[in-house]
Amino acid sequence: MTSLIEPIQLKNPLGDDGILFVRNDSIFDTMVKIPLLLASMIIVAALLPIQSSFSSPRDLDLIIYPDGTTHVSIEIDVDPFSTDYELNLFGNTIDNLVVIGDDEFLLEFDIIDNFALIQTFGSSVITIEYDIHDLVSKQGKLWTFSLDSPSNFTLLLPQNSAIVGMTNLPINMEIHNDQNQLTLSSGSTEIDYFFTTTITSNPILDTKTETDYFSYVIVGVIIVIILIGITIFTRSKQKNSNSIEQTLTSQKNLILDVETIFALKPDLREDDKELVKFIFKNGGEALESELRKKFLQPRTTMWRAVKRLEREGVIKIEKKDLQNLVKLRKNMEEEE
């Protein structure tokens, strides 16, 4: 019955020299609460981008008009617990300033020098649009655009303008309606441009000889012929078994024409109708990025518009190569 109380040190005797050893393996487990440590680190890591994302433009798009006036369009994530937000306007000659908060509500603002103090009152995303006359200067025939941007931005140059100097590396360049649109990184940028009537349409230099081109063309043609052959062969095999089925589905898949869609959805907004018309003309589907480029809208504005149309049952959104493919619904009436 009498159970001996055995001292712990007898169960785990010390080393020969009587030195207290602490095993390396166990110190991590015993001294530090690993799950707690991990959880806290993950939380910190998750919060970092959120913290840094507040007050930094999500989208910054600029359009330079032929007279040098620039239209600025900004979307910013703001702290929904703040009452106001101070925005650097990049200058003080501002026109046509509109600030819109969540749900497209108009927000009030005061302009103090180069800054606009916007009363956000709980909005988490604000959109600011204005025209500014301070970003472009002209000397002789040379126009110079200068901006110290807090984030990456897109810049649509006027028609018939040719860049003759820049201080920053462009991230991307696209052509929209004969206008160059550059994507530039944050920081200070200066771009010099002239207006001209002799811009080369395909200015890419290539030092390869014509013989090189010819050999590439031959190889390309052979590859295309092989691919077409494979496709025809595969299709001809499937054709017989699928032909009846395909006829039935193709009849079903006919998309509704624009007028029918508008008749079924009379409350669609005018700008949304323009989107529907474009998608219809584009064969009933378009990438969201294509819509943004066509209508020159910031990412989130277009996303909201697309979401609206999806809610209305006019379109459906599918993923294609990590992009949103917007498709007109084929049987709207049935689904309603």
Partner 1 sequence: MKKLALFAIIVLIFGTISPSLVNHAYGQNDPSILLRIAVQADEQIVNQLNGIYENKIPNNIEILYEKGHLSVESLNESLSNDDIEKAKQDFLLAMNSFMQISRIISQSSEKVVVVTVSEKSNRNISSEIDRLEKYVKSLENISKKYDVNVESNFIKIHALIQELRVEINNVNKVHTGIKEIKIILDSIKNDIRESASKHKSDFIKRFLDRLLDKITNQLIMAEDNGVDQTQISKASELILEIRELLSQNQINGAKVIFSELKELMKNIGYPVRIT
β-bridge partners, 128: 74, 99
Alpha helices in the chain (DSSP H): 8-11, 24-31, 34-53, 210-252, 258-264, 270-281, 288-295, 299-311, 332-335
211 is a site residue for partner 1 (CB under 8 A): no
Shortest distance, position 258 Cβ to partner 1, whole Å: 20
Rounded Cα distance, 72 and 170, in Å: 19
Residues 172-201 that bind partner 1 (CB under 8 A): 172-173, 185, 190, 192, 194, 196, 198-200
In whole angstroms, what is the distance from residue 59 CA to residue 76 CA? 7
Q: How far is the CB of 336 from partner 1 (least distance, A)?
A: 23
Size of the site for partner 1 (CB under 8 A): 73
122 φψ region: left (φ > 0), alpha (ψ -120 to 50), beta (else): left
| C-alpha to C-alpha distance for 114 and 53, rounded to whole angstroms | 22
Q: How far is the CB of 255 from partner 1 (least distance, A)?
A: 27
Comparison of 133 and 330: residue with beta carbon closer to partner 1: 133
Residue 269 lies near partner 1 (rule: CB under 8 A): yes
Determine contact, residues 333/264, Cβ cutoff 8 Å: yes
Residue 27 interacting with partner 1 (CB under 8 A) = no
User: Is 181:173 a contact under the CB 8 Å cutoff?
Assistant: yes
Among 2, 3, 139, 236, binds partner 1 (CB under 8 A): 139
DSSP result, 247-307: HHHHHHTPPPPHHHHHHH-TT--HHHHHHHHHHHHTTSEEEHHHHHHHHT--HHHHHHHHH
> Which of 89/256 has CB closer to partner 1?
89
**What minimum distance in Å lies between the beta carbon of 281 and partner 1?**
21
If one asks whether residue 26 binds partner 1 (CB under 8 A), the answer comes out as no
Is residue 286 at the binding interface for partner 1, with CB under 8 A as the rule? no
Task: Rank residues 6 and 270 by Cβ distance to partner 1 and give the closer one.
Answer: 270
Q: Which is nearer to partner 1, 134 or 285 (CB)?
A: 134
Restricting to residues 58-117, name those near partner 1 by CB under 8 A: 65-69, 71, 79-83, 91, 93, 95-96, 98, 100, 103-106, 108
Examine residue 274 and tell whether it contacts partner 1 (CB under 8 A): no
- Rounded Cα–Cα distance for residues 332 and 336 (Å): 6
Nearer Cβ to partner 1 (1/175) = 175
**Cross-strand partners of 86:** 117
Q: Closer to partner 1 by CB, 14 or 142: give it.
A: 142
Helices and strands counted in the chain (H then E) = 9, 17
Closest distance to partner 1 from the beta carbon of 298 (Å): 13
Are 52 and 70 a contacting pair, CB within 8 Å?
no
Find, among 270, 231, 266, 260, the residue nearest to 329 by Cα. Answer: 260
For partner 1, the closer CB: 68 or 284: 68
Q: How far is the CB of 61 from partner 1 (least distance, A)?
A: 12
Closest to partner 1 by CB, 196 vs 234, is: 196
Residues 38-57 that bind partner 1 (CB under 8 A): 38, 41-42, 45, 48-49, 54
Based on the shown chain and the rule CB under 8 A, indicate whether residue 218 belongs to the binding site for partner 1: no
Residues in the chain: 336
